[in-house]
Protein backbone atom coordinates (compact mmCIF):
# COMPACT_ATOMS: atom_id res chain seq x y z
CA UNK A 1 0.00 0.00 0.00
CA UNK A 2 1.26 3.43 -0.97
CA UNK A 3 0.23 6.76 0.54
CA UNK A 4 -0.41 9.51 -2.00
CA UNK A 5 -0.23 13.17 -0.95
CA UNK A 6 -1.99 15.28 -3.54
CA UNK A 7 -3.80 18.56 -4.12
CA UNK A 8 -6.17 19.29 -6.99
CA UNK A 9 -7.00 22.63 -8.59
CA UNK A 10 -9.34 23.90 -11.27
CA UNK A 11 -7.40 25.15 -14.26
CA UNK A 12 -7.86 28.88 -14.88
CA UNK A 13 -5.86 29.16 -18.11
CA UNK A 14 -3.68 26.97 -20.27
CA UNK A 15 -0.03 27.35 -19.21
CA UNK A 16 2.49 28.61 -21.75
CA UNK A 17 4.06 25.86 -23.89
CA UNK A 18 1.69 23.15 -22.62
CA UNK A 19 1.17 21.86 -26.16
CA UNK A 20 4.89 20.98 -26.24
CA UNK A 21 4.56 18.73 -23.18
CA UNK A 22 4.19 14.97 -23.14
CA UNK A 23 0.61 13.75 -22.77
CA UNK A 24 -1.30 10.49 -22.63
CA UNK A 25 -4.92 9.50 -23.11
CA UNK A 26 -6.46 7.90 -20.02
CA UNK A 27 -9.60 5.78 -19.91
CA UNK A 28 -10.96 5.05 -16.44
CA UNK A 29 -13.74 2.67 -15.48
CA UNK A 30 -14.90 2.98 -11.86
CA UNK A 31 -16.68 -0.02 -10.38
CA UNK A 32 -19.21 -0.87 -9.16
CA UNK A 33 -21.55 1.40 -11.09
CA UNK A 34 -24.18 1.27 -8.33
CA UNK A 35 -21.98 3.12 -5.79
CA UNK A 36 -22.15 6.94 -5.73
CA UNK A 37 -18.36 7.26 -5.35
CA UNK A 38 -16.62 4.03 -6.35
CA UNK A 39 -13.00 3.73 -5.18
CA UNK A 40 -12.03 0.79 -7.40
CA UNK A 41 -10.80 1.77 -10.86
CA UNK A 42 -9.44 0.03 -13.90
CA UNK A 43 -7.34 2.25 -16.13
CA UNK A 44 -5.83 2.33 -19.59
CA UNK A 45 -3.04 4.92 -19.61
CA UNK A 46 -1.45 4.91 -23.03
CA UNK A 47 -0.25 1.31 -23.43
CA UNK A 48 -0.30 0.57 -19.69
CA UNK A 49 -3.16 -1.08 -17.84
CA UNK A 50 -3.86 -1.22 -14.11
CA UNK A 51 -6.41 -1.66 -11.36
CA UNK A 52 -6.30 0.73 -8.41
CA UNK A 53 -8.17 0.99 -5.14
CA UNK A 54 -7.82 4.50 -3.72
CA UNK A 55 -9.43 5.86 -0.56
CA UNK A 56 -8.79 8.56 2.06
CA UNK A 57 -6.49 7.50 4.91
CA UNK A 58 -8.38 9.55 7.52
CA UNK A 59 -12.05 10.50 7.24
CA UNK A 60 -12.86 12.33 4.03
CA UNK A 61 -9.48 14.06 3.58
CA UNK A 62 -8.90 13.62 -0.17
CA UNK A 63 -5.38 15.07 0.05
CA UNK A 64 -3.99 11.90 1.73
CA UNK A 65 -5.04 8.66 0.06
CA UNK A 66 -4.19 5.02 0.47
CA UNK A 67 -3.47 3.62 -2.98
CA UNK A 68 -3.12 -0.03 -3.97
CA UNK A 69 -2.32 -0.71 -7.62
CA UNK A 70 -1.72 -3.85 -9.63
CA UNK A 71 -0.65 -4.04 -13.25
CA UNK A 72 -2.98 -5.66 -15.74
CA UNK A 73 -2.42 -7.12 -19.16
CA UNK A 74 -4.32 -5.61 -22.08
CA UNK A 75 -6.50 -8.74 -22.17
CA UNK A 76 -7.29 -8.44 -18.43
CA UNK A 77 -8.19 -4.77 -18.89
CA UNK A 78 -10.35 -5.61 -21.88
CA UNK A 79 -12.27 -8.25 -19.93
CA UNK A 80 -12.64 -6.16 -16.76
CA UNK A 81 -13.78 -3.12 -18.75
CA UNK A 82 -16.84 -5.13 -19.80
CA UNK A 83 -18.12 -4.84 -16.23
CA UNK A 84 -20.78 -2.20 -15.73
CA UNK A 85 -18.95 0.80 -14.44
CA UNK A 86 -18.79 4.56 -14.58
CA UNK A 87 -16.47 5.66 -17.36
CA UNK A 88 -14.48 8.75 -18.21
CA UNK A 89 -11.82 9.71 -20.70
CA UNK A 90 -9.23 12.46 -20.48
CA UNK A 91 -5.91 13.64 -21.85
CA UNK A 92 -3.25 14.13 -19.18
CA UNK A 93 -0.42 16.58 -19.84
CA UNK A 94 2.78 16.55 -17.77
CA UNK A 95 3.79 20.17 -17.23
CA UNK A 96 7.11 20.88 -15.43
CA UNK A 97 6.99 23.77 -12.96
CA UNK A 98 9.23 24.68 -9.99
CA UNK A 99 10.97 21.27 -9.81
CA UNK A 100 7.58 19.54 -9.85
CA UNK A 101 5.26 18.14 -12.49
CA UNK A 102 1.70 19.37 -12.79
CA UNK A 103 -0.60 16.69 -14.13
CA UNK A 104 -3.16 18.66 -16.15
CA UNK A 105 -6.23 16.68 -17.13
CA UNK A 106 -8.49 17.82 -19.97
CA UNK A 107 -11.69 15.80 -19.75
CA UNK A 108 -13.28 14.56 -22.95
CA UNK A 109 -16.69 13.45 -24.16
CA UNK A 110 -19.53 14.41 -21.76
CA UNK A 111 -17.11 16.29 -19.44
CA UNK A 112 -15.43 18.34 -22.18
CA UNK A 113 -14.55 21.79 -20.87
CA UNK A 114 -13.43 20.57 -17.45
CA UNK A 115 -9.71 20.80 -16.73
CA UNK A 116 -8.14 19.85 -13.40
CA UNK A 117 -4.53 20.08 -12.20
CA UNK A 118 -2.98 17.62 -9.73
CA UNK A 119 0.24 18.03 -7.80
CA UNK A 120 1.76 15.16 -5.82
CA UNK A 121 3.99 15.74 -2.82
CA UNK A 122 6.71 13.88 -0.93
CA UNK A 123 5.74 15.17 2.52
CA UNK A 124 2.82 16.68 4.41
CA UNK A 125 4.89 19.83 4.95
CA UNK A 126 5.51 20.20 1.22
CA UNK A 127 1.78 19.71 0.53
CA UNK A 128 0.76 22.23 3.21
CA UNK A 129 3.24 24.91 2.10
CA UNK A 130 2.54 24.58 -1.62
CA UNK A 131 1.63 27.85 -3.35
CA UNK A 132 -0.91 27.51 -6.14
CA UNK A 133 0.51 28.55 -9.54
CA UNK A 134 -1.10 31.45 -11.43
CA UNK A 135 -2.61 29.16 -14.09
CA UNK A 136 -4.79 27.55 -11.40
CA UNK A 137 -8.11 29.02 -10.26
CA UNK A 138 -8.84 27.44 -6.87
CA UNK A 139 -8.01 24.42 -4.69
CA UNK A 140 -10.79 21.82 -5.07
CA UNK A 141 -9.02 18.89 -3.41
CA UNK A 142 -11.87 18.35 -0.95
CA UNK A 143 -14.66 18.94 -3.49
CA UNK A 144 -16.62 16.12 -5.11
CA UNK A 145 -15.96 17.63 -8.54
CA UNK A 146 -12.27 16.73 -8.12
CA UNK A 147 -12.79 13.00 -7.51
CA UNK A 148 -12.58 10.76 -10.54
CA UNK A 149 -15.03 8.27 -9.05
CA UNK A 150 -17.59 11.06 -8.66
CA UNK A 151 -16.96 12.57 -12.11
CA UNK A 152 -17.13 9.27 -13.96
CA UNK A 153 -20.45 8.83 -15.69
CA UNK A 154 -21.40 12.50 -15.30
CA UNK A 155 -22.00 15.23 -17.86
CA UNK A 156 -20.59 18.76 -17.70
CA UNK A 157 -24.11 20.05 -17.03
CA UNK A 158 -24.23 17.86 -13.88
CA UNK A 159 -21.19 19.59 -12.35
CA UNK A 160 -21.76 23.09 -13.76
CA UNK A 161 -23.51 24.37 -10.58
CA UNK A 162 -20.49 23.31 -8.49
CA UNK A 163 -18.13 24.99 -10.96
CA UNK A 164 -20.20 28.18 -11.18
CA UNK A 165 -19.50 29.02 -7.53
CA UNK A 166 -15.83 29.44 -8.53
CA UNK A 167 -16.66 31.37 -11.73
CA UNK A 168 -15.04 28.54 -13.68
CA UNK A 169 -15.07 28.93 -17.45
CA UNK A 170 -14.87 25.91 -19.77
CA UNK A 171 -11.38 25.27 -21.10
CA UNK A 172 -10.59 23.47 -24.31
CA UNK A 173 -7.11 22.72 -25.49
CA UNK A 174 -6.92 23.43 -29.02
CATH number of the domain at 14, please.
Answer: 2.40.320.10
pLDDT value, residue 122: 93
Mean pLDDT of the chain: 94
At 144, the pLDDT band (50, 70, 90 cuts) reads: confident
* Sign of the torsion angle spanned by Cα atoms 45, 48, 52, 58: negative
Alpha helices in 23-73 (DSSP H): none
Is residue 174 a part of any domain in this protein? no
Is residue 73 a part of any domain in this protein? yes
Is residue 173 a part of any domain in this protein? no
pLDDT value, residue 124: 93
Is residue 171 a part of any domain in this protein? no
Is residue 8 a part of any domain in this protein? yes
Distance of CA 157 to the CA centre of its chain: 18
Is residue 140 a part of any domain in this protein? yes
Percent of all residues in the chain with a pLDDT value above 90, rounded to a whole number: 85
At 73, the pLDDT band (50, 70, 90 cuts) reads: very high
Is residue 139 a part of any domain in this protein? yes
Residue 142, phi then psi, degrees to nearest 5: -90, 5
Give the pLDDT confidence of 110-139 residue by residue, as tens digits: 999 999 999 999 999 999 999 999 999 999
* Sign of the torsion angle spanned by Cα atoms 155, 158, 161, 162: negative
pLDDT value, residue 56: 86
Give the pLDDT confidence of 11-67 residue by residue, as tens digits: 999 998 999 999 999 999 999 999 888 999 999 999 999 999 998 888 888 888 999
Is residue 169 a part of any domain in this protein? no
CA distance 111 to 171: 11
* Number of domains composing the chain: 1
Alpha helices in 94-165 (DSSP H): 124-129, 148-151, 156-164
Cross-strand bridge partners of residue 102:
95
At 173, the pLDDT band (50, 70, 90 cuts) reads: confident
Within 8 A by CB and 6+ apart from 30, the residues are 38, 39, 40, 41, 85, 86, 87, 88, 148, 149, 152, 153
* Inter-residue contact 68 to 57 (CB < 8 Å): no
pLDDT value, residue 68: 94
Higher pLDDT, 148 or 1: 148
pLDDT value, residue 42: 97
pLDDT value, residue 60: 85
pLDDT value, residue 160: 96
Domain that holds residue 41: 2-164
Amino acid sequence: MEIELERTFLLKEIPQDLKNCKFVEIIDVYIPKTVEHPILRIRKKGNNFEMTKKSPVVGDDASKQSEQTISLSEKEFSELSKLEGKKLRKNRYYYPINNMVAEIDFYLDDLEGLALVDFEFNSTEEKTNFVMPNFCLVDVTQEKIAAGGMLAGMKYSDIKPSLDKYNYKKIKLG
